[in-house]
Amino acid sequence: MVVQTVVTFAAGMVFGLALAAPPGPMNAIIAEESVVRGWGAGFRAGLGAMLADAVFFVLALIGVVAVIERFPTLRAGMVTAGGVLMLYFAVGAARNAEATLTGEGETEAGKGFQKAFVLALTNPYQILFWLTVGVGLLKPGEIDVLSYVPFAGDALAGTMVVATGSPALLAGLFGGIVVWIIGFPGALVAGRRRVDAFAPLVATASALVLAGFGVFFLWDGIGSLL
């Protein structure tokens, strides 16, 4: 029993890391905060995104998340709002890229947590995850963990199948996210210390990622509403 619990927890951590690591709007916010304001700011941004996951987890647990699935207009509205927010934060990231070149990149310190939390609550990827996979994690059964990894799921399908409905799996999932939000900002800050031009480059890349996802989700959301 102990061995099975440990294996399930480890699988959950792999799942959490695999979901947190791919490029996307959340990592763009974390990257921007890390290189402009330091490890603490990047970590706090990661906590904001993880808190949104915790909110979705609780809503899934009590059945509220399923309501969104029954109302396509509500989901489309959330996707549209997420797209607008991403574009707004993309402008901020672009300004940070310019500010770091002039030594003024410490403005608006402490806002990363709020930005990531609000954006994550309207992030279509997180919403859809908890509508589908997240709900399935709560029910007894099995899940092909790595098949849900963004971009590489098809290639990894069948390599890690574990039991669902287990507290160890859910604890591992959030444990994997914690490992990522600690390690990812640390790696970025270390890179910034080695290369002075690293901060504006990351901030610019973050702005482009947020803008790209913002346009995509705004288009998708408005198209669903029309």
Summarize pLDDT for 104-138 with one digit per residue, the tens: 444 455 578 988 898 888 877 787 778 777 777 77
Closest-CA residue to 24 (of 150, 135, 133) = 150
Q: Please say whether the beta carbons of 62 and 149 come within 8 A.
A: no
pLDDT higher than 60, residue 101: no
For the chain, what is the domain count? Answer: 1
Stated pTM of the model: 0.74
Looking at every residue in the chain, the average pLDDT score rounds to: 77
Strand-pairing partners, residue 161, are 144
| 3-state secondary structure (DSSP) of residue 20 | helix
Q: Please say whether the beta carbons of 42 and 185 come within 8 A.
A: yes
Q: Alpha-carbon distance 131 to 57, whole Å?
A: 10
Q: Which alpha helices (H) appear in 102-197, and where do they start and end?
A: 112-121, 124-129, 135-138, 153-156, 167-194
Q: In the prediction, which pLDDT does 219 show?
A: 81
pLDDT digit string, tens, across residues 48-89 = 999 999 998 888 888 776 676 677 777 677 667 767 777 877
Q: Alpha-carbon distance 10 to 172, whole Å?
A: 6
For residue 36, the enclosing domain spans: 2-225
